[in-house]
Amino acid sequence: MNSAGDSEPRNGSAPSGRPAAAPTPVKIVVSGGFGVGKTTFVGAASEIAPVRTEEVLTASSAGIDDLSATPDKSTTTVAMDFGRISLRQHLILYLFGTPGQQRFWFMWDDLVRGAIGAVILVDTRRLIESFPVIDYFERTRIPFVIGVNGFDGQFPFTEAHIREALALGPDRPVVNCDARDTTSATRTLVTVVEHALAHSRLDIVGPSPRAVVPPEGLPDRTG
């Protein structure tokens, strides 16, 4: 018999005696250009051992994949990364990481199907590589946030600079993150869920690229 001070349900039942609600599963896509940290992000956030489909980079990729900013990268995702994380008690996020190499982008339409939102990771050293990714997600109308992955903990540009360079409206979240850090990756995913909920209520649609003055040192997506 429970005392008057007991607040926790027993035997998986809610306090009213009804069975506890089953967790709600939702699908989140982790996307971005080649080598921006998608596999690392999924691995850091996932509470299970992530499923990865990586292959070793070979000499045949030289001249196709730009490794100048990531010289230590030796593998690449050829299908997807998969992970899972529980937020709060009744929400489970299933994470699907897209392959970054453009020759594998034909898989994206299948990977994003059914997703409620996405995080697009960007590397400010190679920001131009994120332009076609953002264009793709604007066309799909899937709510997304920009995750600025601070390689070596460096964030040389302000949110305003990045927002201008990517031609993003004020309703599009831009967050700094460290793809290696579980807390940072989780915080970014919470932002995705919150944005997706706001998007569903307010029907916010990503703005079309507009004329902006790019900050010095960053390319301009409208150019």
pLDDT at 162: 96
**Inter-residue contact 78 to 99 (CB < 8 Å):** yes
Torsion of CA 167, 172, 174, 177, to 10 degrees: -130
51 in a structural domain: yes
Residue 50, domain CATH: 3.40.50.300
What would you measure as the largest C-alpha separation in the chain, in angstroms?
A: 71
66 in a structural domain: yes
Domain with 137, as residue range(s), is 24-202
211 in a structural domain: no
Count up the domains in the chain and report the number: 1
C-alpha dihedral sign at 146, 149, 153, 155: negative
Question: Residue 114 — φ and ψ, nearest 5°?
Answer: 85, 0
156 in a structural domain: yes
Q: What is the mean pLDDT of the chain?
A: 80
210 in a structural domain: no
- 135 has a pLDDT exceeding 80: yes
125 in a structural domain: yes
- 164 has a pLDDT exceeding 80: yes
pTM of the predicted model, to two decimals? 0.74
pLDDT band, very low/low/confident/very high, at 211 (cuts 50, 70, 90) = very low
139 in a structural domain: yes
pLDDT at 21: 78
pLDDT band, very low/low/confident/very high, at 10 (cuts 50, 70, 90) = very low
pLDDT band, very low/low/confident/very high, at 74 (cuts 50, 70, 90) = very low
Look at residue 40 and give its three-state secondary structure: helix
11 in a structural domain: no
| Alpha carbon distance 203, 26 (integer Å) | 19
| Alpha carbon distance 38, 16 (integer Å) | 43
